Amino acid sequence: MKFNSQPSQARRRLLAAGVALATTFAGVSGAAYAQDGYPTKPITMIVPFSAGGTTDILARIVGLQLGKALGQPVVIENRPGAGGNIGASLAAKAPGDGYTLFMGTIGTHAINQSLYSKLPYDPVKDFAPITRVAMVPNLVVVNPNVPAKSVKELIAYVKANPNKISYGSSGNGSSMHLSGELFNSMTGLNIQHVPYKGSAPAVNDLLGNQIGLMFDNLPSSYQHVKAGKLRPLAVTSAKRSPALPDVPTVAEAGVPGYEATSWFALYATGGTPKAIVDRLNAEVVKILAMPDVQKQMAGQGAEPNPEKPEQLAAFMKTEAAKWAKVVKASGATVD
């Protein structure tokens, strides 16, 4: 009896199909493994302002929990300067692989594009939105040596003593800066702006009476207010803050229609795979729902505000248009 050692044509076709199918599954399995394997090394989260400010505080709260969830440390890297542009530019140049994250702000992703004549990064193309992290009111806060205990008294004092008081901010283009310019515009004042490389050094000078006033993110000044070292006059949001319920809004305190709220959002770099962005979004949304995290943020006057990546992208577009009008009306520019 003879056996045909050569496979028949039908069998060859079947074998070829089997090899192709196996190759396809191997490719899918490899892609899934690569996705599931992220991260395999530490992640860097760039903060575009100095340590101790609101952006830094929120980054460290989220970064600590994100590191635990992902099984890799999240290293906070502070790169302050130029209203957040230095840190944003550095992040924008990083590979889109999920290993460089950026804690962005209303300044870096909504205001600066209208305020600066040229940005070293594109807030839309160079970043992949992950989620908004928190909304934070700003606080009109003065050194106790300033003889004003209300917004109306502050306005009267500045009018009677022009050029005697200046206000500090975390940098040109920050929400603190634009909150001050909006206040100037709506009250007819011309309080001089002094930019710093983050709110922490500005608060230090406010405590030392080198500057008299700030429109500071509430978390940066909150502990100093509670300790009686700084005097709060008003919050810039539309509603009072639960953290300081006895402090009126600026609108309540004598400037009708005034409203300015800061926001902070987490980004990956442009080109980061959607699977990684979605994974990070899911993890951060879970983190922001943790009772301990919510308690930490509430204690700083921050309100967690998670959302989907596409919602953050749409929100950024709306905010950029809103603040472009404020920048134009204020006449503020930075070369």
pTM of the complete model = 0.80
What DSSP assignment string belongs to 146-183?
SS-SSHHHHHHHHHHSTTS-EEEESSTTSHHHHHHHHH
Structure confidence at residue 25 (pLDDT): 40
Spell out the domain ranges in the chain: 43-135+262-330, 137-235
Is 330:185 a contact under the CB 8 Å cutoff?
A: yes
Domains 43-135+262-330 and 137-235 are alike in CATH topology: yes
Structure confidence at residue 174 (pLDDT): 85
Structure confidence at residue 173 (pLDDT): 79
Q: Please list the residues that pair with 138 across neighbouring strands.
A: 217
What DSSP assignment string belongs to 172-237?
TTSHHHHHHHHHHHHHT--PEEEE-SSHHHHHHHHHTTSS-EEEEEHHHHHHHHHTTSSEEEEESS
- Alpha-carbon distance values, 149 to 14, 301, 335 (Å): 86, 21, 36
d(CA 288, CA 302): 11
Q: Residue 267, Cα to own-chain centre: how many angstroms?
A: 9
Q: Residue 226, Cα to own-chain centre: how many angstroms?
A: 25
d(CA 43, CA 283): 14
End-to-end CA distance of the chain: 93
Structure confidence at residue 175 (pLDDT): 87
Q: What is the pLDDT along the chain (335 residues), one digit of tens a residue?
A: 333 444 444 444 434 444 444 444 444 333 343 456 899 999 999 999 999 989 999 999 999 999 999 999 999 999 999 989 999 999 999 999 999 999 999 999 999 999 998 999 999 999 999 999 999 999 999 999 999 999 999 999 999 999 999 999 988 878 899 999 999 989 999 999 999 988 899 999 999 999 999 999 998 899 999 999 999 999 999 999 999 999 999 999 999 999 999 999 999 999 999 999 999 999 999 999 999 999 999 988 899 999 999 999 999 999 999 889 888 877 778 87
Structure confidence at residue 319 (pLDDT): 93
d(CA 89, CA 270): 12
Residue 312 CB burial class (10 angstroms; 0-12, 13-18, ≥19): buried
Q: Please list the residues that pair with 215 across neighbouring strands.
A: 140
Structure confidence at residue 35 (pLDDT): 52
Is 137:143 a contact under the CB 8 Å cutoff?
A: no
d(CA 212, CA 142): 6
d(CA 263, CA 218): 12
CATH architecture of 43-135+262-330: 3-Layer(aba) Sandwich (3.40)
Structure confidence at residue 29 (pLDDT): 38
Backbone Cα Rg of the chain: 25
Structure confidence at residue 15 (pLDDT): 41
**What topology does CATH give the domain 137-235?**
D-Maltodextrin-Binding Protein; domain 2 (3.40.190)
